[in-house]
Amino acid sequence: MLGGSSITLFHVRGIRVAVDWSWFLVLFLVIFWLSRFYGDVLGEPSSGTGPFALAVASALGFFGSILLHELGHAVVAMRNGIGITRIQLWIFGGLAQMDRESDSPATEFKVAIAGPAVTLAIVVGLTAVGLLAAGPEEFSEAMLVESNSGVSGVLAMVAWLATINFLVLIFNLLPAFPMDGGRIARAIAWWKTGDRSSATRFAATLGRVFAYGFMGVGLLMIFSGYVFGGIWLAVIGMVINGSARGAAMQTQITSKIEGLQVADVMDREPVAIPGELSVEQALDEYFHRYRWPWFPVVDTGRHFLGLVVRDKADEVPEISRATSLVADVLERDDGTFQVRDDAPLDVLLGNQNLRRFGALMAVDADGRLSGVITAEQVGRALRDATMATRS
């Protein structure tokens, strides 16, 4: 859905926040439109310093609220053991890219509702600021955004940000998968039926219905003279339709391995390095022996701690390798390197870390290493299930 090239803005809690090239086009259009908007509100030329400054501040505030919305999804996802690859702003808003799907309807619901909850908090906060600063009557006038209304520029900006975030909230809650409302609908259907595949098909169908509705309304707007808004809505419909169709197609694949768990196909005898082992022993007894680029590291209770990479071990000076412990040089796990052994196997089909590392560590409910599952094993299980279905 997003272009391959992006520009990193900064990192938040280890999450890369980036912008797609299309974001700059939208930023320019929003500032251009808002300059005219604030010029009308204040009764000044749109090229004036005041309208332009308010337009820039409003555009940054709007995209800041979109970022907070996506961070809401990201924080809840990470608290439920789902890694976040990045948050990217693009032409239609923002997207928090998760490294895997939710493993339960409760998790799906919590992650999906988190973004709208943040947006609702923004709307309530901005409205409260406006009411406290100007009172109900003057803030209501600012919300009407009439030309030469006499309201201050700052109050007009607060009113506009509250209004646009309210519209974003309503739009996001429409049950059109893969929007937040569609994901909430999928979580509810999943909870009711106990079948994620059928719930996804239901949500994807809803998404396509809404997508065709958006495209139809967009065409009507174009023929009615609202060309820009009509094109925008029609393109949104096309994007939603493509995403919903892709989700439905992926469900056809995942349904073939429905019922299988990670434990059914994983290697149950993984080679792991004890964290209390010296780096010198790790190099001699593991890296030189097996010739693998990395190993899982466990404590005395066999709880998974993270990964030790050959390059990191080699960086330790030879004179210090006998006294340096593996636990001191490992890359600590934050949920990125592991998957529960009782998790459905189909959650790994879209797992970006599995593609990146080629394998993930399987852990039990207590965090103990119980196996290793590779991308090859997942692919083999999918091929076997496909062949069994055909026969």
**What SS3 class is residue 311?**
helix
Per-residue model confidence (pLDDT) at position 105: 94
| pLDDT given at position 228 | 76
Name the residue type at position 24. F
The per-residue pLDDT for 169 is 94
What is the model's pLDDT at position 33? 86
Question: Considering the chain, what is the average pLDDT of its residues?
Answer: 87
Distance of alpha carbon 116 from alpha carbon 76, whole angstroms: 12
Q: Determine the average pLDDT of the residues in 223-227.
A: 88
Backbone φ and ψ of 176, nearest 5°: -115, 95
pLDDT band at 2 (very low <50, low <70, confident <90, very high): very low
CA-wise closest residue to 341 among 369, 376, 381: 369
Q: What is the pLDDT of residue 3?
A: 43
- Rounded to an integer, what distance in angstroms lies between the CA atom of residue 80 and that of residue 198? 23
Decide if pLDDT at 212 tops 70.
yes
Q: What angle do CA 292, 293, 297 make, to 5 degrees?
A: 85
For residue 388, what pLDDT band results from cuts at 50, 70 and 90?
A: low
Going from the C-alpha of 69 to that of each of 62, 151, 166, the distances in angstroms are 11, 29, 12
44, 273, 317, 328 from 323: Cα distances, Å: 72, 16, 11, 11
Strands 359-363 and 338-340: parallel
pLDDT of residue 298 exceeding 90: yes
- Hey, what amino acid is at 318? E
| Structure confidence at residue 13 as a pLDDT band (50, 70, 90) | confident
Neighbours of 313 (CB within 10 A): 22
Distance between CA atoms of residues 377 and 184, nearest Å: 32
Alpha-carbon gap, residue 300 to 291, rounded angstroms:
24
Provide, rounded to the nearest whole percent, the portion of the chain with pLDDT above 90.
Answer: 46
Comparison of pLDDT for 9 and 385, the residue scoring more: 9
Q: Do the Cβ atoms of 122 and 116 come closer than 8 Å? A: no
> Which residue blocks in the chain are alpha helix, DSSP H?
21-42, 49-79, 105-144, 153-172, 180-193, 196-223, 227-254, 262-265, 279-282, 288-290, 310-315, 326-329, 352-357, 375-390
Radius of gyration in angstroms for the set of CA atoms belonging to the chain, rounded to a whole number: 26
Model confidence at 286: pLDDT above 90: yes
Q: Using the predicted structure, report yes or no on whether residue 141 has a pLDDT greater than 80.
A: no
Provide the 10 A C-beta neighbour count for residue 295.
21
Rounded Cα distance between 237 and 208, Å, is: 8
User: Which range is most confident: 79-83, 289-293, 379-383?
Assistant: 289-293
CATH class of the domain defined by 262-390 = alpha beta
- pLDDT, residue 213, reads 94
Collapsing DSSP to helix, strand or coil, 194 comes out as: coil
CA dihedral 161, 112, 77, 266 (to 10 degrees): -150
Q: Which residues pair with 359 in a beta bridge?
A: 374
Q: Is the pTM of this model over 0.85?
A: no
In DSSP terms, 157 is beta-bridged to: none
Q: Is the pLDDT assigned to residue 88 strictly greater than 90? A: no
Is the pLDDT reported for residue 183 higher than 50? Answer: yes
Question: Edge to edge, what strands does the sheet with 15-20 contain?
Answer: 6-12, 15-20, 84-90, 93-98
Bigger pLDDT: 173 or 355?
A: 173
How far apart (Å, rounded) are the C-alpha atoms in residues 152 and 54?
11
Lowest mean pLDDT segment, chosen from 64-78, 86-100, 327-341: 86-100
The pLDDT assigned to 150 comes to 61
